[in-house]
């Protein structure tokens, strides 16, 4: 079966993935004389930096997602297909998807990355990742459901297992989740669950490296650690988690933390599609590309975003897997496609680092700019502004802004709802 896309004299560019990289490229190419087919397993774009706020009941899921079709409503040369790409046939310029096959002139892989459990299937089956809106909602439900159970649990040890939480990974996601949990413990849960002694709740942050926020400056790393400790988070550096059975976490040194919830933010690994040569796949399953983001050994297949890997003098282990790299790669590739139409030569991708940031809590954040770093309330305000304006859609910006203002004034969002999907029972006649 072939995916139904109108035939045209325009060159067809198929983009797999509607994240920061794929969406940026599609929006730029939509203005040019190409036929664009954007394929994603969801029909919406997800704003990953704010997943943790959905998980901590600070934002509605709809505030950080945006329908792909709405973005391209006025673009008649853009076609959206909700499907999963399973295989590439580069010799035939064809891809296989869950919705059928599709031919391409140029193929762009922006398939992103998923949670890396480092081969530990037991941890993978029990820990809670946070790489999608649905996973963030699952975490929100797990936290709230266990607090409901704790209300009727008289045994101290069992109650601790329900309310204690372990966060694995000291990068931006882990730090932000731990900070949000600490603020929830102090300001929200005592009001919702006055019968519980919320001081009993322990939040553990486990980091394998010798510092938090490994990719940021030492100043920011130390500040983030101090902020979290001020909020009551128990931090363990140079500690590796080796096992989790659903009720207790085991570390490499043999120590154990009883808990029913482990939030895994310890790393990412590239998503895969069958059909690329093994020589094009490198560390963490990323795809080797050249300076134009062309996949190794291919002439018309490109990779951008978290999945792309190229070593440079400045980035000997590849570019950081952050939104700005993805956006800039999408922009650069779009300019090169435009240059092709104008008969101009292509421009090599060069990442312009505009800085890094992480928020820990109210008035607590760290920001690294290319020439200096700062922390505290001004850094927190900068983080808010940058993320607010990075959201897609005016409605989303307004709703997130109002949520943040209300939360700032009251410390009490009304979003702590246990919403579970209902399984449909189909009875045979």
- According to the model, what pLDDT value does residue 134 have? 92
Same domain, 135 and 272: no
Asked whether residue 427 is assigned to any structural domain, the reply reads no
Spell out where 77-233 has E strands. 78-82, 85-89, 94-97, 100-103, 106-109, 113-115, 165-168, 203-206
Q: Are residues 128 and 249 in the same domain?
A: yes
Domain encompassing residue 315:
11-115+268-342
418 occurs within a structural domain: no
pLDDT digits (tens, 9 = 90+) for 339-362: 999 999 999 999 999 999 999 999
pLDDT of 429: 44
Q: What is the pLDDT of residue 94?
A: 97
Positive/negative CA dihedral, 312, 315, 320, 325: negative
Identify the pLDDT of residue 215: 87
Catalytic residue list contains 145 = no
CATH number for 220: 3.50.50.100
Are 125 and 256 found together in one domain? yes
Beta bridge partners of 102: 95
Query: Alpha-carbon distance 397 to 336, whole Å?
Result: 31
Q: Are residues 34 and 93 in the same domain?
A: yes
Same domain, 188 and 96: no
Asked whether residue 366 is assigned to any structural domain, the reply reads no
Are 56 and 180 within 8 A, CB to CB? Answer: yes
- The angle formed by the CA atoms of residues 342, 345 and 349, to the nearest 5 degrees, is 115
Domain total in the chain? 2
Residues 86 and 198 placed together within one structural domain of the fold: no
Give the CA distances from residue 281 to residues 87, 294, 295, 298, in Å, rounded to whole numbers and listed in that order.
15, 13, 10, 13
Do 59 and 155 lie in one domain? The reply is no
Residues 137 and 221 in one domain: yes
Does 172 map to a domain?
yes
All residues at 6 or more sequence positions from 177 whose CB lies less than 8 Å from its CB, including other chains: 52, 55, 56, 130, 167, 263, 265
Please identify which of the residues 145, 176, 229, 274 carries the catalytic annotation. 176
The answer to whether 291 and 348 have CB atoms below 8 angstroms apart is yes
* Gap between the Cα atoms of 141 and 162, Å rounded: 13
> Domain boundary residue among 266, 299, 320?
266
CA 4, CA 223: separation in Å to the nearest integer?
Answer: 54
Q: What is the pLDDT of residue 17?
A: 97
Residues 329 and 295 in one domain: yes
Q: Which segments in the chain show pLDDT lower than 50?
A: 426, 428-429
* DSSP E strand stretches across 182-289: 203-206, 234-236, 241-244, 248-251, 256-258, 261-264, 268-270, 287-288
Whether 125 and 262 share a structural domain: yes
For residue 214, tell me if it sits in a domain. Answer: yes
Per the structure block, which two tokens stand in for 120?
């530990």
Looking at the fold, whether 244 and 198 belong to one and the same domain comes out as yes
74: in domain: yes
Domain endpoint, select from 244, 266, 288: 266
Residue 299 belongs to a domain with what CATH number? 3.50.50.60
393-414, pLDDT tens digit by residue?
A: 999 999 999 999 998 988 877 7
Looking at the domain assignment, is residue 2 inside a domain? no
Give the three-class secondary structure for 324. helix
Residues 195 and 247 placed together within one structural domain of the fold? yes
Residue 428 has a pLDDT of 45
Q: Measure the CA–CA gap between 25 and 328, rounded to whole angstroms.
A: 9
Does residue 370 lie in a domain region? Answer: no
Among 233, 266, 299, which residue terminates a domain?
Answer: 266
């Amino acid at each position: 079966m072939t995916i139904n896309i109108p035939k045209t004299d325009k060159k067809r560019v198929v983009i797999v993935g509607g994240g920061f990289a794929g969406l940026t490229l599609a929006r730029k190419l939509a203005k040019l004389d190409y036929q664009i087919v954007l394929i994603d397993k969801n029909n919406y774009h997800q704003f990953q930096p704010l997943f943790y706020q959905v998980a901590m009941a600070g934002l509605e899921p709809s505030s950080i997602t945006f329908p792909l079709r709405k973005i391209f409503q006025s673009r008649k040369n853009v076609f959206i297909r909700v499907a999963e790409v399973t295989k590439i046939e580069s010799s035939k310029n064809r891809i296989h998807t869950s919705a059928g096959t599709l031919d391409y002139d140029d193929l762009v892989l922006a398939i992103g990355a998923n949670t890396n459990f480092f081969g530990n299937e037991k941890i993978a089956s029990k820990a809670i990742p946070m790489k999608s809106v649905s996973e963030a909602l699952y975490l929100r439900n797990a936290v709230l459901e266990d607090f409901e159970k704790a209300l009727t649990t008289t045994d101290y040890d069992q109650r601790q297992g329900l309310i204690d939480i372990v966060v694995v990974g000291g990068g931006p996601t882990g730090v932000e989740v731990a900070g949000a949990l600490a603020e929830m413990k102090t300001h929200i849960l005592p009001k919702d669950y006055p019968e519980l002694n919320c001081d009993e709740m322990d939040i553990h942050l486990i980091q394998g490296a010798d510092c938090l926020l490994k990719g940021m400056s030492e100043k920011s790393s130390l500040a983030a650690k101090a902020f979290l400790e001020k909020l009551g988070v128990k931090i363990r550096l140079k500690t590796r988690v080796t096992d989790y059975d659903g009720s207790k976490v085991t570390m490499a040194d043999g120590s154990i933390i009883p808990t029913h919830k482990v939030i895994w933010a310890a790393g990412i690994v590239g998503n895969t599609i069958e059909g690329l040569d093994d020589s094009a796949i490198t560390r963490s399953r990323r795809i080797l590309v050249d300076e134009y983001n062309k996949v190794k050994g291919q002439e018309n297949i490109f990779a951008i975003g978290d999945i792309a890997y190229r070593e440079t003098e400045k980035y000997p282990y590849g570019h950081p897997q952050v939104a700005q790299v993805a956006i800039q790669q999408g922009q650069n590739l779009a300019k090169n496609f435009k240059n092709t139409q104008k008969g101009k030569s292509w421009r090599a991708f060069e990442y312009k680092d505009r800085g890094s940031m992480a928020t820990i809590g109210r008035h607590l954040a760290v920001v690294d700019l290319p020439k200096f770093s700062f922390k505290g309330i001004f850094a927190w305000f900068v983080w808010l502004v940058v993320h607010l304006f990075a959201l897609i859609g005016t409605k989303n910006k307004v709703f997130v802004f109002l949520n943040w203002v209300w939360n700032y004034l009251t410390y009490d969002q009304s979003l702590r709802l246990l919403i579970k999907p209902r399984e449909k029972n189909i009875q045979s006649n």
